[in-house]
Amino acid sequence: MELGEVEQLAFVFDMSVLFEEFVAEFLRRHRESIVLEDGGRIAKVERQRVLGKLFDEFDMKVDLVLEDDRGKRFLVDTKYKVLDSRKDHAGLSQADFYQMYGYARAGRETFREIFLLYPVGEVPVEEDFCQEEDLTLRVRQFDPRRIYDPVTGSPNIDDTVEELGRALSGCT
């Protein structure tokens, strides 16, 4: 090594994958503790489920299919993107909406409710979009900073359970 050179080792993570995997695993581990708006609890978590085929060629895989203890099933797709309330449609992507519409109608089972789950940004963005009377797309945010308690130096399970329950509830 020459003077002025520094050797470094770097780790690079795909934050989209890390965010999706964290949400999926946390829901799986703590599903019975997460209370939804109607008092229901998550009973089943399916990850990377193939909903159907697009043009008989491409698998349409949603991040999560959740089922509550009353049998209601809904889709969750995580998006590691920063939303901005100052932009048109808060910076929501039209392509993401097309993707969710495709997921809702992809297979034998039609889904009536889909959540797009983003990390929280500077300004909260939570909206419901209805397509006709049979499909609601709910944009919600989850604050990943609540995962860790800096005072105790440990995971903050209770706050994370509460935050995900709030994020996966129908009405704001």
pLDDT digits (tens, 9 = 90+) for 69-101: 999 999 999 999 888 878 888 888 899 988 888
Half-sphere exposure of residue 29: CA atoms within 13 angstroms, side-chain side: 10
Domains of the chain: 15-167 (3.40.1350)
Cβ partners under 8 Å of residue 7, min gap 6: 1
pLDDT value, residue 124: 80
144, exposed or middle or buried, with CB in 10 Å at 0-12, 13-18, 19+?
A: middle
Give the pLDDT score at 61. Answer: 87
